[in-house]
Amino acid sequence: MTRRQLLRHSAWFGAAVVLTVAGGEVISQVADAQNPAPAVDDPTALRFVQISDSHLGFKGSANSAVEDSFAHAIKQVNALPYRPDFVAHTGDLTHLSTPAQFDQVKQMMSELKTGQVFTVPGEHDSIDDGGQKYRQTFGAGTQGDGWRSFDAGGVHFIALVNTVSLEKLGHLGPDQVEFVRKDVAGLSSDTPIVVFSHVPLFAMYPAWGWGTDDAVQVLSLLRRFASVTCLNGHVHQLFTKTEGNVTFHSATTTAYPLPKPGDGPAPKPLVLPAGKLGDALGIREVAYHKGSQALAIKDVRLA
CA distance 177 to 220: 10
Q: Give yes or no for residue 3 having a pLDDT over 60.
A: no
What is the Cα 218 distance to its own chain's centre?
A: 17
pLDDT of residue 41: 76
pLDDT value at 24 more than 60: no
Instruction: Give me the CATH number covering residue 263.
Output: 3.60.21.10
Domain count within the chain? 1
Q: What is the pLDDT of residue 166?
A: 87
Q: Which pLDDT belongs to residue 147?
A: 98
Q: Express each pLDDT in 39-90 by its tens digit.
A: 777 878 899 999 999 999 999 999 999 999 999 999 999 999 999 999 999 9
Average per-residue pLDDT for the chain: 88
**Mean of pLDDT values over 222-238:** 96
- Could you list the residue range(s) of the whole structural domain that residue 44 is in? 3-301
The helix (H) or strand (E) run that includes residue 11 is helix 3-11
Q: What is the rounded average pLDDT of the residues 14-32?
A: 38
* Segment 159-198, tens digit of pLDDT: 999 999 988 999 999 999 999 999 999 999 999 999 999 9
**Does 31 have pLDDT greater than 70?**
no
Average pLDDT over residues 265-293: 90
Query: Residue 14's pLDDT is what?
Result: 36
> Which string of DSSP letters, residue by residue, matches 238-295?
-EEEEETTEEEEE--BSS---PPTTSSSS-PPPPPPTT-HHHHBEEEEEEEETTTTEE
